[in-house]
Amino acid sequence: MTAPISKEPFKGLDGAIAVQSGICRLSAEDGRLSYRGYDVGELAANSTYEETAYLLIDGHVPSRAELRAFEQEVKGFRKISPAVHKAIKAAPVGADPMAALRSAIATAAFEDAVAVPPSAEAARRQGLRLLGQLPTMVAAYHRRRAVQRAVTPKKSLSYAANFLYMMSGEAPSTEAERALDAALILRADNELNPSTFAARVTAATGADVYGSVSAALSALAGPRHGWHAKSVLHLLEDIGGADKVPGWVRGRLESKGRIAGFGHQVYQGEDPRTPFLRSLAEARCEATGFGALFRTAQALEAEVVRTSGQHPIVDFYLAPLYRALGIPGDTFTAVFAVSRISGWIAHILEQYGDERLIRPRAEYTGPVDLQYRPARRRR
């Protein structure tokens, strides 16, 4: 029997409950975010990305032995094959990194074909393979565009440190490693955001992990979802200094233009991740010569909150933080994927446990009862 359609459709599905999940709790009313019951700020301050990934994917905080085994398994997947390297090198230098990333994942899928729907064991292994390889793919394409040789991943380095090493060719400082590690944790999941929902819809069809992650990447590549940090960086550079912020904001508000990085679609007040990221961005920007960029961001936050009441989203302070870590702006969306891959995997695996398709209804708004005329009778 078909379920009755709601008389009051949700525009954009805002507020609609599409699935039940035990992964991420987003409490919009009091501005809280937790993974598997653990506050995200506490995880960012005390955990590591690897431990957080284990928590999301396997559902509990690991023992020391479980964490060591998980870390070694993921590290064992870090290297990408010659075929994947070839796919990355074949991408035009000016191509969107997200398009290059989808091409690389499609190539990796050829090398790891399993029955569909995949077994629980095969799906988890595919997920961990992507968790290990996605940073390598992103860094390899970054090096390709910089006309530099790809850097081989190091098993001795953490997830965050290895990514920065593969991007620059130099081992990062402890402070830079820790800053990126915390930033990755804070962005690892955020309930049913568009890319995660795309992944779950795809997984609900029985598609494998590669197909589900490819769907997530396609959604993330859209400017309304994955471009926020990149747009914030362009905006801060366009403003040109903290002293110019009031006039810039006044002009933008008078023209009714949107200000990138402000106004979360779900959180009603401040994004719970913002204070932690503000602190990280300030420390790294001051340490690396980007203090003026941070002060412009801080002044912009104060002015926008004062004049409009809108608060910055998670991407706002990620922009100066990533820049201070040496990550170029056009790679920010791909770094988003490096963070969110653990959350995507967790949601894909959880979705496999429900054999029902995700199949919402639409309210029809077109014409009705039109009379069809054959072509020979139409003018």
Residue 60 known to be catalytic = no
Give the span between the Cα atoms of 281 and 179, in whole angstroms. Answer: 8
Give the span between the Cα atoms of 31 and 254, in whole angstroms. Answer: 30
Residue 225 known to be catalytic = yes
Set 181, 189, 208, 315: catalytic member:
315
Distance of CA 317 to the CA centre of its chain: 15
Judge contact between 70 and 50, C-beta under 8 A.
yes
DSSP H stretches of helix in the chain: 40-46, 49-58, 64-75, 82-90, 97-110, 120-145, 159-168, 174-186, 194-204, 209-220, 223-226, 228-239, 245-254, 274-288, 291-308, 314-324, 332-352
Give the span between the Cα atoms of 178 and 320, in whole angstroms. Answer: 16
Q: Is 280 exposed, middle or buried (0-12, 13-18, 19+ CB in 10 A)?
A: buried
Set 39, 112, 225, 330: catalytic member:
225
Dig out the tokens for 343 from the structure.
Answer: 């959350």
At 65 the three-state DSSP class reads helix
Residue 181 known to be catalytic = no
Judge contact between 164 and 177, C-beta under 8 A.
yes
Judge contact between 277 and 320, C-beta under 8 A.
no
Dig out the tokens for 98 from the structure.
Answer: 């997200």
Set 85, 264, 311, 347: catalytic member:
264
Sign of torsion, CA 129 130 136 137? positive
Residue type, 225: H
Give the span between the Cα atoms of 336 and 223, in whole angstroms. Answer: 13
Judge contact between 288 and 324, C-beta under 8 A.
yes
Active site amino acids: 225, 264, 315
